[in-house]
Structure 1
Amino acid sequence: MYKVFINEKKLSITNSLTNAEKNIRFEGLTSLEIAVDLLENTSTPEINIYGENPTEIWEEFSTMFKKIEAAGGIVKNKEEKILFIYRLGRWDLPKGKLEPNEKLDEAALREVEEETGLQELVLEKFVNTTFHIYKEKRDGKEVKILKGTHWFKMQYIGNEIPKPQIEEGITKVEWINAEEIREKVFPNTFNNIKLILEESLSI
């Protein structure tokens, strides 16, 4: 199964019908274009595209967008709290775009260091990749971007107080425990962040 968020609404690509509000059988590129249009321009909250080979469908879907890769960290400290940043009114995990020829794990570590000021980080393992679609203006034209963020578990073994990277619009960096994540973060974060936290932490 593949999952991608469009306007914070989920598009799944699977090999069978699901309990999504709308299921669309894959019958070529038009099926994908219809699904994206519905999620962008109607109140439809979730769509499942289904067909015999989800990987082939995903590859076809990916051709509709300019692709950008990013990487980030799910960082725990000695007290089992998770490191969050607060940017533009929402809680988020530290992450950012890859630099040319940069490896995924190196990018994840660099972004966590830059956005939180913490350096004594131990990379543990790759968790998963989340995807979302957004639009931006390039040379006067609107371009649709498919952004894949590769997430890594990390451990912070130091004692420094994290510092927000103000120039990137980050106003707070906080360690938050599992119970507080449900109460404080989930009501005010992105669906991709909820997804990766639920997958990696079972919260």
Structure 2
Amino acid sequence: MYKVFVNEKKLTLSKYPEDMEKKLRFEGFATLEIAVDLLENTSCPELNVYGEDLEEVWEDFTHMFKVIEAAGGVVSNKHGEILFIHRIGRWDLPKGKIEKGESLEQAALREIEEETGLKELILEEFLNNTFHIYTERNGEKILKTTYWFKMNYVGNETPKPQTEEGITAVSWKNRETIMDEVFAKTFNNIKLILNDYWQLH
């Protein structure tokens, strides 16, 4: 199953129908175009496209967009707090685009170091990937895949925001604060990956 966010609304691509208000059986490319259009231009809150051959559905779906890959991390410290950045009024996890010739792991470590100033990071394991769609200023539709890794910070430095990237704050937060403050001002993909992370703990 794939969960893709379109304007923060969930599009689920699955083999079998999901328990959702709006469901479309996959009958080719047009089904996917209709699904994205409904999420972008109507009040439809979430939608499920289902088809027997899920990989065919996913392949057709990815062909509708320019695909950009990014990598980032859920970084915890010795107190069990998680590292967040604040940008454009939202809390987010540190991440960024993968550069040519980089592995996913290298990109994740580099981006976290650049965005937060923290270097003593230990990469533990791959968590999951998330997907969302956005439109560039030139009208081009982008499907962004972000690969997330579980990491540990073992140093004692104070994180510093990468202000030239529009990051206004970097902060360690415990689970209670995340539930109370961060979840009200973050993205659905971030909630998904944090829930994946907590299921491991």
Same fold (TM over 0.5): yes
Q: Indicate yes or no: 2:124 matched with 1:127.
A: no
2:170 to 170, 173, 181: 173
1:193 to 174, 190, 193: 190
1:155 to 149, 152, 155: 152
User: Following superposition, which runs of at least 4 residues in structure 1 exceed 6 angstroms of deviation?
Assistant: none
The CA deviation string for residues 22-76 of structure 1, in whole angstroms up to 9 with x for no partner, is: 0100000010000000000001010000110111100110000000000001000
Matched residue type, 2:150: K
Equivalent position of 1:4 in the other structure: 4
Matched residue type, 1:13: L
- For the residues of structure 2 that align with 1:157 and 1:21, how far apart are their CA atoms? 46
Unaligned ranges ≥5, structure 1? none
Matches within 5 A, 1:17-56: 17-56=17-56
TM-score by length of 2: 0.98
- For the residues of structure 2 that align with 1:133 and 1:167, how far apart are their CA atoms? 24
Identity %: 64
- For the residues of structure 2 that align with 1:14 and 1:118, how far apart are their CA atoms? 39
1:200 Cα offset (Å): 1.3
- For the residues of structure 2 that align with 1:63 and 1:130, how far apart are their CA atoms? 17
Equivalent position of 2:69 in the other structure: 69
Tell which deviates more after alignment, 16-25 or 121-130: 16-25
Matches within 5 A, 1:105-120: 105-120=105-120
- For the residues of structure 2 that align with 1:200 and 1:59, how far apart are their CA atoms? 27
- For the residues of structure 2 that align with 1:88 and 1:28, how far apart are their CA atoms? 37
Matched residue type, 2:171: E
1:97 Cα offset (Å): 0.3
Give the superposed CA RMSD: 0.9
- For the residues of structure 1 that align with 2:90 and 2:99, how far apart are their CA atoms? 25
Equivalent position of 2:142 in the other structure: 145
1:172 Cα offset (Å): 0.5
Matched residue type, 2:187: F
Unaligned ranges ≥5, structure 2? none
Aligned residues: 200
